[in-house]
Amino acid sequence: MTPRVVEATANATLANMGVGFDILGMALAEPFDTVRAERIPEPGVQIAAIKGDEGKLSRDPTRNTAGIAAAYVLRQIGAAEGVSLSLQKGLPLASGLGSSAASAVAAAVAVNALFGEPLSRPDLLAASLEGEAAVSGRHADNVAPALFGGITLVMGLTADAIHALPIPPNLHLALATPAIAVPTAEARAVLPANVSLKAMISQTAHVALLVRALHSGDLALLGAAMEGDGVIEPARAHLMRGLPEVRAAARACGALGTVISGAGPTLCSVCESAAVAERVAVAMRALYAEMGLAASVRVTVPSVGGAAWRVV
């Protein structure tokens, strides 16, 4: 018998990992979004409630990333019944932590589970991307790690183009999210249309170094490789107030590298232990406070396993 109510969670993601624009992403253990899906007799998707968004997200299912992903799954499986969704936002909006991707993935996983999992996990990539595309463009560097977990290399928009990369032991992350919203569309509009051959060589070298660091587990090398972005960060730096100062403060506390998370404004530091990450997070928050900016900080680790669900 298939369940009547299912709850799914999907995690925050560190898109780009600094140097890997649109091609690398890592699932983080916290924060995460939760979508509760209930089977209803009326076909289609309804959004019953959204909590934790300060009223900012659309309740119209055709304009909401979770609603769009849910409708896509219903169409794929040819469901005669519909679903009512309740969304609990654990992720801050427009913060660079993959908020729209997490909601889309959690909705796709919840609806599929509600109907007895007719689709495989890779099958759910298309629905998740459809939801994500409505808000922040069609790229899979948030959706893929949120769906599958771990660190993913994204070579394209189909499941066979997603490759798992190793997670180095002891990797801890300190996240600082200043109270400024940077919508992804805005952060993509400032990017250069062309890059020089010199920049291309440096960027690809740093991506290769990053992959090498993941395989060897060398966190210092990983931090250095992630910081090697000479294309995207310079174009976006003016949207990230205090980036050089926060990076320096984090480094002084032991951070091995600090990058913009996704399209920002969250900054993420690579650390070798929870204790170092805690110190770094406190220093980041203090630095933002000196600049007159409130910031929420968090310490987390990579998440494996991907989006999860349970019958409620």
Site of interaction with ligand HSE (CB under 6 A): 15-16, 21-22, 136, 139, 141-142, 184, 187-188, 262-263
- Provide the minimum distance between the beta carbon of 102 and ligand HSE in the complex, in angstroms, as a whole number: 11
Q: Which is nearer to ligand HSE, 142 or 303 (CB)?
A: 142
Residue 272 annotated to the active site: no
Q: Which is nearer to ligand HSE, 90 or 98 (CB)?
A: 98
Strand partners, 51: 88
- Provide the minimum distance between the beta carbon of 37 and ligand HSE in the complex, in angstroms, as a whole number: 24
- Provide the minimum distance between the beta carbon of 100 and ligand HSE in the complex, in angstroms, as a whole number: 8
- What are the tokens at 58? 């659309």
Rounded to the nearest angstrom, the gap between the alpha carbon of residue 111 and the centroid of all alpha carbons in its chain is 20
Q: Which is nearer to ligand HSE, 39 or 188 (CB)?
A: 188
Q: 265: cis peptide before it, omega within 30°?
A: yes
User: Looking at 132, 227, 233, 272, which residue is catalytic?
Assistant: 132
Reference 191, options 92, 260, 254; nearest CA is 260
Neighbour order of strands in the sheet with 172-178: 257-260, 267-271, 172-178, 295-300
Q: Write down the H helix ranges in the chain.
A: 65-77, 99-114, 124-136, 143-148, 184-189, 197-216, 219-226, 232-236, 243-252, 274-290
Q: Which is nearer to ligand HSE, 77 or 235 (CB)?
A: 235
- Provide the minimum distance between the beta carbon of 24 and ligand HSE in the complex, in angstroms, as a whole number: 9
- What are the tokens at 125? 């990539």
User: Looking at 9, 152, 184, 258, which residue is catalytic?
Assistant: 184
Residue 184 annotated to the active site: yes
Residues tagged active-site: 132, 184
